Amino acid sequence: MENALLYIIIALGISIVLNLFLKRAGISQIIGYILTGTIIVYAFDLRHVNSSHTLELIGEFGIVFLMFTIGLEISLAKMGSMKEEIFGNGIAQVVTTAIVTFCIAHFAFGLSNQSSLIVAFAFSLSSTAVVLSYLKASKEIYSPYGQKSTGILIFQDIAVIPILILISFMTMHSGKSVWVVVGETIVSAAVVVGLLFVVGKRVIGYLLHFSSSSELEELFMGSVLFIVVAASLLAHYMGFSYSLGAFVAGMIIAETKFHHKVESDIAPFKDILLGTFFVTVGMKIDVALLFDNMHIIVGLFVSIFLVKTTLIYLILRFRSHHSTSLKTALALSQVGEFSFVIFAVASMGGIINDNLVQLLILVVIFSMVITPFFISKIGRIVEFLSKESDAISSDYSLLAGRKDHVIVCGYSVVGKFVARQLDDLGASYIIIDNSPKHVKEALEDDLEAYLGDMSKRSILEALHIEKAAGVIVTLDNADKKRMICEGVLAHTKTANLVVKVTSLEEKEKLSDLDITFMVDGKLEVARVLVERLLSCRLKKLY
């Protein structure tokens, strides 16, 4: 395509103009990128390239870099602590949604067994690109529903592998038995994990160390790009998705001291490539087919939305709070971008009708377009649907004019002891926690407590943090703790910020922030033990 550069420049210009207007209207930039793709295709009659493998590959690397940044947030230790979210909730969600969708497609719509199975697999997945990009941008990824959504999305990305294996077996192109294919996949997975975690961990550590010590930003950035692309290619050549390799690479770097720098440096590449992905999604929109079948597409979307929301809510409700379960269910109610891959493989294998595929692709795109409009309003939707959240949250307007108050962030074990000490001193204080359970406990203890995320500017403004006597952070989550400290210090440089740390390593990670005091729990226990010893009347031993 000789005018490729011209098309790229025009697409960039259109996306900038559209997103400037959408930003003022409070609409996600995802919509701007999708509209850009549609405009470019029809303005320059490029419908013949909307299925270009090269274009899809470029767009897919937007998801690759997104999954890499998610991996930076989830170290091996944290992934171990998220077993329930990833494997428990993830398996239950994918399997249950697939079974129910299969039954609806086969018995209600009369599709064949194979077509129903393809639809079931595709509709059981949610959009990693839309949901995780919002959770990261809004910092909701650290909230209870953000953690559950992230865990389920991670498992969905893993589940794509066996789904594609099964589809390739159904096409019978390889001629191998399913057990041979599964065996080869297990061996490939072991090789990928072994290379990345055993060999790659050392290589990545050395590469980042030496490129950082060179004090040349371009070398460090080049090293990070090499790591992401190399890990993605390794996973792809072993039969897995590009994004899975990038995710594992991110998890490895999360264990190093470079993960915050890597995340900030990689952000521009991630955002640009993720925008490219949504442009390619917009290029797939067949406007004529969309308007001719709008009633069917909307009807299917509403059906999917209700089914997935209900199923995910019921799965999570057994072990989670009502509002957390409902928020997670609403966030994951759309159909994801990996369904494009599933439909493409199934269509090429001749196991699903091409016309049906075109219609289903429009349903997927429609769901991805609608999601950004309501995902940012999930909190309000849940409050409207359920009065339970009103019982555990308070009206921030009650804080109007408040000053010289202490803000206690977190009401778990340490937070409870801090509240008792402040009560003994007669100090004015308020509790804020992102956990409905902890806020409810504080309210039951007749304390002034609020539900909210202190890393958000809007919450900091509502708490009048610039007028507070001090902020005490009692949380255990190191990443969340840093986000809150960064938010507080960005909002007001004069804050008296006292933070609980659990280790010297954590203290070192926070040392670059202008924190007033960091209290090491272990060190303080040792100091108190010695003080108690000195205050005792020692017996002289003979």
* Residue 402 CB coordination number (10 Å): 15
**What does each C-alpha distance from 319 to 84, 97, 154, 265 come to in angstroms?**
10, 18, 19, 38
The answer to whether residue 77 scores a pLDDT higher than 70 is no
If one compares 238 and 441, the residue with the highest pLDDT of the two is 441
Residue with tokens 């997670």: 328
pLDDT above 70 coverage of the chain, percent: 86
If one compares 539 and 479, the residue with the highest pLDDT of the two is 479
pLDDT at 250: 83
Return left, alpha or beta for 107; rule: phi > 0 is left, psi -120 to 50 is alpha, else beta.
alpha
Claim: this prediction has a pTM higher than 0.85? no
CB of 95 closer than 8 Å to CB of 162:
no
Nearby residues of 427 by Cβ (< 8 Å), 6 or more positions away: 406, 469
The answer to whether residue 541 scores a pLDDT higher than 60 is no
Residue with tokens 């030496």: 210
The stretch 47-72 carries a mean pLDDT of 71
Question: Sorting pLDDT into bands at 50, 70 and 90, what band is 152?
Answer: very high
The answer to whether residue 301 scores a pLDDT higher than 70 is yes
The stretch 164-172 carries a mean pLDDT of 69
HSE-CB at 317 with a 13 A cutoff on CA atoms is 10
For the segment(s) 52-265+338-364, the CATH number from 3.40.50.300, 1.10.645.10, 3.20.20.100, 1.20.1530.20 is: 1.20.1530.20
pLDDT at 75: 65
The answer to whether residue 402 scores a pLDDT higher than 90 is no
Question: Sorting pLDDT into bands at 50, 70 and 90, what band is 390?
Answer: very low
If one compares 12 and 126, the residue with the highest pLDDT of the two is 126
The answer to whether residue 179 scores a pLDDT higher than 70 is no
CATH class of 395-535: alpha beta
The stretch 295-322 carries a mean pLDDT of 91
Token pair, residue 536, equals 């005792």
pLDDT at 389: 46
pLDDT at 542: 43
Token pair, residue 230, equals 């190399």
The stretch 178-191 carries a mean pLDDT of 68
If one compares 315 and 426, the residue with the highest pLDDT of the two is 315
Question: Sorting pLDDT into bands at 50, 70 and 90, what band is 147?
Answer: confident
Question: Sorting pLDDT into bands at 50, 70 and 90, what band is 540?
Answer: very low
433-479 pLDDT, tens digit each: 888 778 888 887 878 888 877 887 778 888 888 888 899 998 888 87
Q: List the chain domain ranges.
A: 52-265+338-364, 395-535
503-514 pLDDT, tens digit each: 777 888 888 888
The answer to whether residue 284 scores a pLDDT higher than 90 is no
pLDDT above 90 coverage of the chain, percent: 14
Sheet holding 470-473, edge to edge: 449-451, 429-433, 406-409, 470-473, 497-501, 517-520
The answer to whether residue 74 scores a pLDDT higher than 80 is no
pLDDT at 160: 78
Token pair, residue 356, equals 């049906």
